[in-house]
Amino acid sequence: MKKVLKSFPPIVDKRSRILILGTMPGPMALKKQEYYGFSGNHFWKIIFQLFEVRKTLTYSEKKRLLKEKGIALWDVFQSCERIGALDSAIQCAEFNDIPWLLKKYPNIRAIYLNSRTAEKVFRQRFAPFVKVPFYYLPSTSPAYAALSFAKKLRAWSVIPC
């Protein structure tokens, strides 16, 4: 039986200059109540490489790092039904109010979409209402094994540091 899953509030503040949008946290992230909480996801490893973080951080420290670097984090989906972790299994989705977030935090000047699903949903649902440029980035999910970590890191290095 599918369960209704709910995403997290955005990590954002007035210093945010870019917004990274994923789709919906996976089962481990939801259990831990942490964005990208599954250890196999490359998101935090990529962020640590981009910002030369050499030590282990708590989740609170990770959120603080993002804010200090001007990065906001959210998902395109507010809730959905899904069995497992794959985006392709998402059904009955409700969307976060991305235009509202951008209006509330006008310093956000670019959006980066973490996966083809996030990009597709964003283009269909939000692009007509958003004046901020947006860019696709390869998924940090371990399910996207077509690219090595090194290639994902290279692609993600377009994020301004």
What's the CATH number where 44 sits?
A: 3.40.470.10
The mean pLDDT of 94-110, rounded to a whole number, is 96
Residue 98 lies in a domain: yes
Q: Which pLDDT value is given to residue 61?
A: 98
Q: Which domain holds residue 11?
A: 3-156
**Known catalytic residue at 41:** yes
Is it the case that residue 161 has pLDDT exceeding 80? Answer: no
Is 151 a domain residue?
yes
What is the distance between the alpha carbons of residues 104 and 160, in angstroms, rounded to a whole number?
22
* pLDDT of 131 strictly over 70: yes
Model confidence, pTM: 0.93
Question: What is the reported pLDDT for 8?
Answer: 96
- Encoding tokens for residue 75? 């998902």
For the segment 125-142, the average pLDDT, to the nearest whole number, is 94
The confidence band for 87, taking pLDDT boundaries of 50, 70 and 90, is low
Q: Kindly state whether residue 125 falls inside one of the protein's structural domains.
A: yes
The catalytic position among 41, 96, 107, 114 is 41
Residue 63 belongs to some domain of the structure: yes
pLDDT value, residue 75: 95
User: Taking all residues of the chain, what is their mean pLDDT, rounded to a whole number?
Assistant: 92
Cβ–Cβ under 8 Å, residues 17 and 109: yes
**Is residue 161 assigned to a domain?**
no
Number of domains observed in the structure of the chain: 1
At 56-82, the pLDDT tens digits run 999 999 999 999 999 999 999 988 877
Pair 21, 74: CB distance under 8 Å? yes
